[in-house]
């Protein structure tokens, strides 16, 4: 399919945050000295009295956000996902999740597509950590269209939410006006032989793989499962019953991500043949985004290979 690059999901987040700020004066935004990169700087420029840079202290950032939420504010907090999730985890656990506070967490520069910044700034375990927290919603948008819609949904949702955004420009996969709801996946292509479930940058790769598979007379569904928690179990079950083969693709460590969540559900409800395209228990090196996605097995040729394997072709 044609690869039409849109904005990075981090850019879409920053722009949408400004719109939400205009609509709701209770929204406040905090960052850990990376607002130019996370794009929360756009909110800071429009609403400086509602923006707080706490400096390079992610754990304190979470604590301040919890305090603001307990006073009725709606805090959106941003930093690189690798720093925010890892360094703030204990505060997320006790200060936000246990307390059931309305804190919105946006981890930027998710996955290995960060590129040249290297392993220290690549979040490959953030989804696993945040889904483990009781009560947390976890969302991984695929493009600027889905990001805008899901940030709006997040602002309305009465509880803690984690959104992962990315550094590079993301291919457009959704039409403007597509409906997005937390916990409801979007079927982008319908097939009868195989279901490919993906999120983030992997959604475009899944669509590309489905087109190539069609040339080999393999009919594949493609689902954008933007919400990892709660899963759209109805859609997953429908697809598993219809095609009998489910392949999950994600820019995340194979342990504890979207694939693990779907496998756990299907093991209980409808066991079927499954495959997994993910980072295989390793850190990535520094390099260009496209080079890293290829080297670590996350591009459409790898999805095609995995699809044919579970189909026995």
Q: Would you tell me how many other CB atoms lie within 10 Å of the CB of residue 245?
A: 23
- Number of C-alpha atoms within 13 angstroms, CB side, residue 202? 32
Does 202 qualify as catalytic in the annotation?
A: no
Structure tokens given for 24: 């709701």
Best CA proximity match to 211, nearest among 200, 224, 201, 222 = 222
DSSP conformational letter for 123: B
Among 19, 58, 211, 285, the active-site one is 58
CB burial readout 187-218, b (16+ within 10 A) else e: ebbebebbbbbbbbbbbbbbbbbbebbeeeeb
Looking up tokens 């707080």, which residue turns up?
52
Task: Report the distance separating Cα 76 and Cα 81, nearest Å.
Answer: 14
Best CA proximity match to 222, nearest among 16, 63, 1, 60 = 1
DSSP-assigned states of every residue in 242-290:
HHSEEEEEEEEESSSSHHHHHHHHHHHH---EEEEEEE-S----S--HH
CA end-to-end span of the chain:
23
Task: Report the distance separating Cα 90 and Cα 50, nearest Å.
Answer: 25
DSSP-assigned states of every residue in 225-238:
--EEES--HHHHHH
The residues carrying an active-site annotation are 58
């Amino acid at each position: 399919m044609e690869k039409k690059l849109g904005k990075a999901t981090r850019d879409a987040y920053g722009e949408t945050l400004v719109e939400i700020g205009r609509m709701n004066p209770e929204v406040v935004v905090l960052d850990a000295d990376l607002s130019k990169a996370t794009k929360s700087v756009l909110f800071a420029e429009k609403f400086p009295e509602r923006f707080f840079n706490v400096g390079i202290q992610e754990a304190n950032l979470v604590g301040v956000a919890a305090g603001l939420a307990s006073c009725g504010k709606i805090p959106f907090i941003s930093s690189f996902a690798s720093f925010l999730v890892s360094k703030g985890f204990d505060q997320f656990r006790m200060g936000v999740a246990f307390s059931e506070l309305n804190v919105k967490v946006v981890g930027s520069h998710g996955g290995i597509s960060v590129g040249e910044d290297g392993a220290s700034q690549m979040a490959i375990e953030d989804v696993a950590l945040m889904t483990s927290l009781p009560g947390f919603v976890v969302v991984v948008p695929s493009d600027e269209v889905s990001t805008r819609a899901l940030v709006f949904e997040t602002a309305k949702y009465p509880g803690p939410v984690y959104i992962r955004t990315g550094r590079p420009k993301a291919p457009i996969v959704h039409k403007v006006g597509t409906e997005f709801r937390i916990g409801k996946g979007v079927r982008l292509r319908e097939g009868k032989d195989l279901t490919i479930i993906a999120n983030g940058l992997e959604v475009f790769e899944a669509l590309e793989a489905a087109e190539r598979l069609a040339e080999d007379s393999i009919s594949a569904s493609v689902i954008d499962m933007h919400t990892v928690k709660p899963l759209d179990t109805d859609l997953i079950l429908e697809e598993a019953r219809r095609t009998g083969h489910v392949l999950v693709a994600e820019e995340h460590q194979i342990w504890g991500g979207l694939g693990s969540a779907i496998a756990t559900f299907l093991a209980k409800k409808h066991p079927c043949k499954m495959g997994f395209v993910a980072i295989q228990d390793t850190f990535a090196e520094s390099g260009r985004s496209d080079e890293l996605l290829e080297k670590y097995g996350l591009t459409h040729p790898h999805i095609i290979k995995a699809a044919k394997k579970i189909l026995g072709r």
